[in-house]
Amino acid sequence: MSIPSIMSRLRLPVIGSPLFIISGPELVIAQCKAGIVGSFPALNARPQTLLDEWLHRITEELAAHNRQNPDRPAAPFAVNQIVHKSNDRLEQDLATCEKWQVPITITSLGAREELNQAVHGWGGITLHDVIDDRFARKAVEKGADGLIAVAAGAGGHAGRTSPFALIQEIRQWFDGPLALSGSIASGAAVLSAQAMGADFAYIGSAFIATEEANADDRYKQGIVDSRAADIVYSDLFTGVHGNYLRGSIVNAGLDPDNLPKGDYKTMDFGSGGNDGAPKAKAWRDIWGSGQGIGVIDQVESVADRIDRMEREYRAAKERLKLVA
């Protein structure tokens, strides 16, 4: 699948980012039917054999939608692969994705040339998320088709660099597919990402507060009730710096203003305990979120959220025409 063919099937130039624990078939299918790329981390399917069931369901439901709506086909979907060495099921997950010919693979926490080659072998494309220009260059050198610039303000494992700085540095040398992540939660912000030079907006936190998201209702309400000032940047929970909801840190009995430093060596994306649950409390008890959630004022369906973003996107375009 090529980038032009993906763009032609999108209602908005948006990729729904893979949300650890939260993204499942319901959310992905809803996002794709609404006209944006839906995605999920392969590790969300636990045990590993569940990944085959999820991909079967997503593939069949989107194919049925396309047969019924030939003039409004679903957007393609993506699977996120954690390349960090603690992920002991990467090879199995890749084999399952090859079976279902997953169109887009998003790689995180490491770039591997052989992984990109494997995805290209079944006709897929790879997008690698990066937090700075140095990692971006390494990813492209190892064969990634495109990049996801994870800038300051993004949810989960976020960088420190302004989106303006990060995009312009990458665009000095890279003219391939580029998505921007960082505080994007409205249609106007999607248009802003394009104006800066990105092809796609990469949005996660806005979809936590949706009916289809596999998130605790308290988490969803926390997104609705919080603003940028309620986001805490810390490396304590996974060993890598990320953005989290202040309220969830307080509820865990910790002081968000006095958190100790974390250790990269403690990161663990393994298969978890005997019940299949992640060992770490991050994502399960300490809730990730980006800084853009101040505009999220209710829990609603994915379809309604995309409808709203499209109206905002078109209104922002009209405003620019008035000042041009």
The single-letter code of the amino acid at 276 is: G
Rounded mean pLDDT, 198-224: 97
Taking the C-alpha atoms of residue 210 and residue 36, their distance in angstroms, rounded to an integer, is: 15
- Domain with residue 15: its CATH number is 3.20.20.70
> Do 157 and 35 have their domain in common?
yes
Residue with tokens 């959630």: 293
* pLDDT for the residue numbered 156: 84
Q: If DSSP codes are grouped into helix, strand and coil, which group holds residue 245?
A: strand
> Do 79 and 114 have their domain in common?
yes
Query: What is the β-pairing status of strands 242-245 and 178-181?
Result: unpaired
Taking the C-alpha atoms of residue 142 and residue 90, their distance in angstroms, rounded to an integer, is: 18
> Do 19 and 133 have their domain in common?
yes
Alpha-carbon distance values, 16 to 13, 24, 91, 207, 260 (Å): 10, 12, 24, 8, 31
* pLDDT for the residue numbered 124: 96
> Do 197 and 258 have their domain in common?
no
Rounded to the nearest integer, the mean pLDDT of the chain is 92
Taking the C-alpha atoms of residue 18 and residue 21, their distance in angstroms, rounded to an integer, is: 9
* pLDDT for the residue numbered 5: 73
Largest CA distance in the chain: 60
Domain containing residue 314: 3-215+298-323
How sure is the predictor about 265, in pLDDT bands with cuts at 50, 70 and 90? Answer: low
Task: Give yes or no for residue 272 having a pLDDT over 50.
Answer: no
Rounded mean pLDDT, 222-234: 96
> Do 318 and 180 have their domain in common?
yes
Residue 175 exposed, middle or buried by CB count within 10 Å (0-12, 13-18, 19+) = exposed
Instruction: Name the percent of the chain lying above pLDDT 90.
Output: 82
> Do 271 and 305 have their domain in common?
no
Give the CA-trace dihedral at 168, 174, 176, 180, to 10 degrees: -30
* pLDDT for the residue numbered 322: 82
Closest CA to 178 of 226, 127, 228: 127
3-state helix, strand and coil shares in percent for the chain, rounded to the nearest 5: 40, 15, 40
How sure is the predictor about 18, in pLDDT bands with cuts at 50, 70 and 90? Answer: very high
How sure is the predictor about 278, in pLDDT bands with cuts at 50, 70 and 90? Answer: very low
Q: Each residue of 124-143: pLDDT tens digit?
A: 999 999 999 999 999 999 99
Phi-psi sector, 283: left (phi>0), alpha (psi -120 to 50), beta: left
Rounded mean pLDDT, 250-272: 75
Taking the C-alpha atoms of residue 285 and residue 173, their distance in angstroms, rounded to an integer, is: 40
Strands (E), the chain: 14-16, 38-41, 77-82, 104-108, 125-130, 146-150, 178-181, 200-203, 231-234, 242-245
> Do 277 and 233 have their domain in common?
yes
* pLDDT for the residue numbered 315: 97
Please count the helices (runs of H) and the strands (runs of E) in the chain.
12, 10
How sure is the predictor about 2, in pLDDT bands with cuts at 50, 70 and 90? Answer: low
Name, in order, each residue with C-beta under 8 angstroms of 231's C-beta and a sequence gap of 6 or more: 153, 243, 244, 245, 246, 289, 290, 291, 293
> Do 193 and 70 have their domain in common?
yes
> Do 262 and 280 have their domain in common?
yes
Task: Give yes or no for residue 268 having a pLDDT over 80.
Answer: no
Q: If DSSP codes are grouped into helix, strand and coil, which group holds residue 82?
A: strand
* pLDDT for the residue numbered 97: 98
Rounded mean pLDDT, 105-109: 94
* pLDDT for the residue numbered 269: 52
Give, in degrees to the nearest 5, the angle at Cα 217 between 212 and 220. Answer: 70
> Do 186 and 247 have their domain in common?
no
Strands (E), 42-194: 77-82, 104-108, 125-130, 146-150, 178-181
> Do 138 and 232 have their domain in common?
no
Does 89 or 156 have the greater pLDDT score? 89
Does 80 or 277 have the greater pLDDT score? 80
Task: Give yes or no for residue 280 having a pLDDT over 60.
Answer: no
Q: Each residue of 43-90: pLDDT tens digit?
A: 999 999 999 999 999 999 999 999 999 999 999 999 999 998 889 999
Does 263 or 256 have the greater pLDDT score? 256
> Do 118 and 234 have their domain in common?
no
- Total of domains in the chain: 2
Q: Each residue of 141-151: pLDDT tens digit?
A: 999 999 999 99
